[in-house]
Amino acid sequence: MIFCSMKFFSESLEMCTEAYVLLPQRGTAGRIGDTNGEVKQGKFKCLYLLHGLSDDQSIWMRRTSIERYAEQYGIAVVMPFGGRSFYTDMKFGMRYYTYIAKELPARIADTFNISTDRQDNFIAGLSMGGYGALKIGLNNCDRFSACAGLSPVTDINAWIAGGGLDAIFGLERKPDDRDELFTLAKAKAQDPMRPRVFMAVGYDDMLYGEIKRFEALMRSLDYDFTYMESEGTHDWAFWDRYIQEVLKWIFK
């Protein structure tokens, strides 16, 4: 794989930012440890991979073997910086939703050999990034054919009520419909282009209760929905294991 640190100016954020990008590499014959063969011709499929509340664009590379996992499938991976924004156009801050959902995919396609076909584009994340991936995937059915949340925040109202998110969601503490997953899932359930949805959580995860409530809603709606749970908590041992399941699910 080719690893790029992409630094550029974002019009949505009105500032320079950074994304980590993994790209399949053709012509690696003779490399020690390489058992994956040649990369297929044509434009690459792409997974946008979002970080959690305490991290940045580097964390997936530092805490998992995402490069090795992605190489097995010949898929590009884009890991952007989303701050502590909950991937939202903040009421008193920057437009991270517009940046991730709209501007970044266009920038990536313009810069690299990435397909713009919705069937070739996917988005996933963990915790806050899981919430962002589900929200962006459901809101942008024309761009992403599948979205996945690992230990995702699903009940954003509970988090808003807990305080500390006024800069993101406003002083009235009421999220827009596109930011509230339960409302959004219902609204998109009959959309013919609704994405496939994947979720996974550990039995001892602090978000287990809210995720189970969202699982129940998704099972009651007409989605291509995959849900997994197992031993585990809100940590990288669980996410490293389940990002592999996400890749298997994307390519099933």
Report strand pairing: 46-50 vs 15-23: unpaired
Residue 38: the pLDDT is 61
CB 230 within 8 A of CB 198: no
pLDDT of residue 35: 56
> Angle, to 10 degrees, between the axis of helix 208-220 and the axis of helix 181-188?
20
Q: How confident is the model at residue 208 (pLDDT cuts 50, 70, 90)?
A: very high
Q: How far is CA 5 from the centre of its chain?
A: 18
Is residue 15 helix, strand or coil? strand
Q: What is the pLDDT of residues 28-65, one digit of tens each?
A: 666 777 656 567 789 999 999 999 999 999 999 999 99
**Tens digit of pLDDT for each residue in 92-147?**
999 999 999 999 999 999 999 999 999 999 999 999 999 999 999 999 999 999 99
Residue 123 is predicted with a pLDDT of 98
Q: With 80 as the cut, is the pLDDT of residue 68 above it?
A: yes
Residue range 159-177: mean pLDDT, rounded: 94
pLDDT of residue 41: 82
Instruction: Give me the mean pLDDT over the 70-77 stretch.
Output: 96
Q: In b/e form, how buried is each residue of 153-180, taking b as 16+ CB within 10 angstroms?
A: bbbbbebbeeeebeebbeeeeebeebbb
CA distances from 60 to 18, 48, 143, 177 (A): 14, 11, 23, 29
CB 70 within 8 A of CB 22: yes
Domain annotation for the chain: domains and CATH numbers: 2-250 (3.40.50.1820)
Note the pLDDT of residue 4: 97
Q: Which residues of 106-118 are buried (b: 16+ CB within 10 A; e: fewer)?
A: ebbeeebebeeeb
> What does the pLDDT read at residue 106?
97
Residue 20, CB half-sphere, CA atoms under 13 Å: how many? 17
Check residue 234 and report its DSSP letter: S
Confidence check: pLDDT of 209 > 70: yes
Q: Could you give the CA distance from residue 159 to residue 24 in angstroms, rounded to a whole number?
A: 38
What average pLDDT does the structure give for the chain?
95
Residue type, 193: M
Asked whether 218 and 227 are in contact (CB, 8 A), the reply is yes
